[in-house]
Amino acid sequence: MASPLRYSNDMSQDFDPQPGPAETPLQQIAEEIRQHGRFLVTSHARPDGDAVGSTLAMGSILHRLGKEVDMVLADPVPQVYRTLPGIARIRQARQVDASAYDAAIILECDGTLRTGLTGLDGMRLLNIDHHLTGIHFGTLNWIDPEASAVAAMVFEVAIALGVDVTPAIATCLYTALMTDTGSFTYPGTSADTFTLAHALIDLGAKADSVARDVLYSVPACRIQLLGRALSRIRIEQGVAWSWITQDDLAEFKATDEDSEGTVNYLISIAGVEAAVFLRETNGGPVGFRTSLRSKSSVDVSAVASRLGGGGHRNAAGCTLEGSFDASVARVLTAMYEEIERAAAAGTVC
Ligand code: 5GP
Ligand code: MN
């Protein structure tokens, strides 16, 4: 059922921060932010648009409140997000010094491990996440699987704290929202999503510029790599799957991030219920970063969780260790079982 609209383009008057006898997680997080001065903001390793945009927006919100802010991501910001306002303020590091902060705000993660950072242990952790597989690992936890992106939750933090959402913040949040909803097409896309998009555009985000910077600025090697992946598609029992090796990446002078999004082409095929895309990992033991997608109610977050990952009902991922053949067998077996389970429940035609 659709939830009541939570955003308005005149938010200062219309936003209702859900008053009630008990403090909501949002109110607790807002209070925690008011009471402390030095914050680390981070998100998951291999950051996507929601991770980057929401980190930047949260950093700016804290900055506008006069807080000391350090934005740190374990992996490089993907090329397409490097035009976002304030991007140079994100630091890439694998380790942080807990004593430098009063608290860490962790966006989009199911545990500290997923940040790719060490040094977070013992810190006050404010966990803000929208994954179905979200875990209460923080000191404070706000997990809202109804939110179409963590950006929607960061927006609510800004409103709860009375921070003006500047055009720069709106641009970061809009980028996060657009990318995390697959340009407003994934199943989590709701009336709330469009109301928030409306509000962000009113506040200065430029939909056409963001689309140009993010969707229409793809390096040529990425398209060549996509061609390789598409040429290998297998379709078996309603599952489309393909893969890319490190040799493929080397051949096209592409990097790991250049295969992101390939899985969306696999799930776009008519008659396919689920898609699996494997990318050989770089260095270390043989393994595969694996992206899962589904249509209808095949729950790929359940498949990913069984294999040590997580995500959303229709978009999830995990890392498989082991040979190509063993990895493919594990993930396809788990996927077929989930499809059978969904079919038995009568949710897949
Ligand atoms: P992607 O396939 O685009 O890498 O990831 C799809 C979704 O699954 C994203 O929301 C992402 O956060 C989540 N996801 C991907 N890999 C992992 C993983 O290893 N662990 C967890 N917990 N979530 C993941
Ligand atoms: Mn997200």
Report the chain's C-alpha Rg in angstroms.
20
Question: What domains can be seen in the chain, in order of their start residue?
Answer: 11-215 (3.90.1640.10), 220-344 (3.10.310.30)
- Residue-by-residue DSSP string for 44-107: -SS--HHHHHHHHHHHHHHHHTT-EEEEEESSPPPGGGTTSTTGGGEEE-SB--GGG-SEEEEE
Local confidence band at 20 (pLDDT 50, 70, 90 cut-offs):
low
Tell the residue nearest (CA) to atom 14 of ligand 1.
317
pTM for the model stands at 0.88
Cα 302 to ligand 2 centroid, rounded to whole Å: 17
Angle at Cα 146 formed by Cα 140 and Cα 150, nearest 5°?
A: 55
Specify the pLDDT at position 199.
98
Confidence band for 9, pLDDT divided at 50, 70 and 90: very low
- Interval 127-145: pLDDT, tens: 999 998 899 999 999 999 9
Alpha carbons 80 and 217: distance in angstroms, whole number: 7
Using the atom order of ligand 1, give the atom closest to the CA of residue 290.
Answer: 2
Residue nearest to atom 13 of ligand 1 (CA): 311
Lay out the sheet containing 315-321: strands in order across: 234-236, 239-244, 274-280, 287-294, 315-321, 310-311
